[in-house]
Structure 1
Amino acid sequence: MLITLCFSLLVSSVIATEKDSALPRLNDSKATEAFIDSAEVVVIGFLEGEDSPGFKELVAAAKRVDSVSVAICTVKEVWADYSLSSDTITLFRKADNHQENLGIAEAKKVEADGLVNFISINEVRYVTEYNQVTAVGLFNSEVKSHLLLFANRGTKEFTELKKTLQTLAPEFTGKFLFVVINGAVKSNSRSLGYFGLKSKDLPRVGIYDADTDMKWLLPEGEISNERVREFCHSFLKGELKDVKQAGAEPKTEL
């Protein structure tokens, strides 16, 4: 009898632990700030409880998106810190200091598939690899200047140069989005062609300004931290306005 009771209590404890640990719980502002600061991209479900619409769907989505940490906050006093007053699933990203809100009440339908898509589209990092999904988040960002690395995946240069960007990107938070475009993928040939490049010409570095639809290439040579940093600062200072643009039909004025 005693053994059975102890076993029952043990099983109940394990079940409760598994249930409660499905997603981390953030119970105050300090814990929430620490969680947001813990990674380049995080998602928090500001939801009243486990019975709230979107809770089960968020738990299911979190299991499918391993690259993004997800937590739950049910404390409404904390919600106010992020200008939220109703159930909302929010993505925070450091690359452009952005907070993307998905209001549950405004959503037509909340499903795990939709939440996976929401996270994937808005998962803009310090260095983001360009594809059809990430393109949406990149072009929806308030940061319209993109530092582009064109390189062929699978080469030693690709890995090394991506690391170069990863060390530089935090310096330009809110000023540039750093993007890697894989020149070995046929679907990216249009992006290369826009800069007058072909796969055989890579690696190269360019800047694209979405506000003016203008583009420049870093002159050929070593792609070092110093040269890329100087290239970015030249753009920010307006020094590229008279530099010949990349591509087949260059313009010379901003």
Structure 2
Amino acid sequence: MFFILLSLFIARVTAEAAAGGEESALLRLSDVPAAQAFIDSSEVTVIGFFETDESRGYKEFLAAVKQIESLSVAVCSEEEVWTKYNITSDTISIFRKADVHQKHLQLSETKKVDSDGLVRFFTINDIHYITEYNQASAVGLFQSEVKTHLLLMSNRDMSDFNQLKERLRALAPKYTGKMLFVLVNGNARVLEYFKLRSRDLPRIAIYDADSDRKWLMPKGEISAERVQNFCDSYLSGDLQKQNEAETSEDKTEL
């Protein structure tokens, strides 16, 4: 642990000592331990793998990063780090914990590189342990290899909104690579899909993007224990069997 912290500290000092305005604030990764420590430091991290500061896309990268200050960003030109993460040419990479995913944008294969396009690339792929659903994040959520979404449907003006959000954020790491936790802030189209109205909120649901199937957690307290049981029931297959049995009963009654 001490070695990792020391490596990260050295990398930060290197960054602060780098010459040139905006570049001086950008973390420069000097070796593999520093790179791994940086990736581990946040839910989403961005590394610009540029051979030199004159590489194609470098200036546009700096301009894009400046527009999204919340991003954890670093640059790296060290060969051993490139080898570690299978980088073979100038590349902008996003590392995500929620779905254990790496998204690579190889600049040599990109016809046009501009700051606006990079901002969109960052925004779409900014997937966290709990991600708010919107037009941009929807693209990243559905592009992820993790196709199961745990939805918290709520309204931002509800008194317990932040409490519920943080409760799910704490639970989400248990389902890394299995489910993406998504916050739906009163989206009318999503509510219509689940046959809900604003007055029915907050509610918890699971959506499977592969099969386009959905399951609503029964009404009641949205506690960590109930949500965890709901998720575990889905992953074990019990929730699906229960739903199929209920559907069969409905057809018999008809």
List aligned pairs for 1:38-53, cutoff 5 A.
38-53=41-56
CA contact (8 A) 2:17 2:24 kept: no
Q: Does 1:222 align with 2:216?
A: no
Structure 1 pair 203–252 and aligned structure 2 pair: CA distance change class (3 A) = farther
Residue in 2 aligned with 1:239?
A: 238
SS in 1 for 2:168: helix
Structure richer in helix, relative to its length: 2
Give per-residue Cα distances to partners, 1:152-189, cap 9 Å, x unaligned.
Answer: 11211211110111110011100000000011xxxx21
Counterpart of 2:6? none
Aligned partner of 1:69 among 56, 68, 72: 72
- Is 1:134 aligned with 2:137? yes
**Deviation (angstroms), 1:67:** 1.6
Correspondence for 2:179 among 171, 176, 180 = 176
Structure 2 gap ranges (5+): 1-15, 250-254
Larger radius of gyration between Structure 1 and Structure 2: 1
Q: 1:251 to 1:213 in 2, by over 3 A?
A: farther
Q: Shift of the alpha carbon at 1:20?
A: 4.5
Percent of paired sites with the same residue? 56
Corresponding letter in the other structure for 1:231: F
Report 1:116-195 matches (<5 A).
116-183=119-186, 188-195=187-194
TM-score by length of 1: 0.87
Q: Match for residue 56 of structure 1?
A: 59
1:98 to 2:101 alignment? yes
Deviation at 1:15, TM superposition (A): 9.0
Aligned residue pair count: 233
**Which one-letter code corresponds to 1:75 in the other structure?**
E
1-structure distance, mates of 2:196, 2:27: 46
Indicate if the aligned counterparts of 1:242 and 1:252 stay in contact, CA closer than 8 A.
Answer: no
Give TM-score scaled by structure 2 length.
0.87
Cα 1:15–1:119 shift into 2, 3 Å: closer
8 Å Cα contact 2:18-2:24 kept in structure 1:
no
Larger deviation, residues 167-176 vs 17-26? 17-26
Partner of 1:203: 202
Amino acid of the residue matched to residue 79 of structure 2?
K
User: Which amino acid letter does the alignment assign opposite residue 221 of structure 1?
Assistant: G
Is there any run of 5+ residues in structure 1 with no aligned partner, and where?
Answer: 1-12
Deviations 1:87-110 (A, max 9, x none): 000011100010000000000111
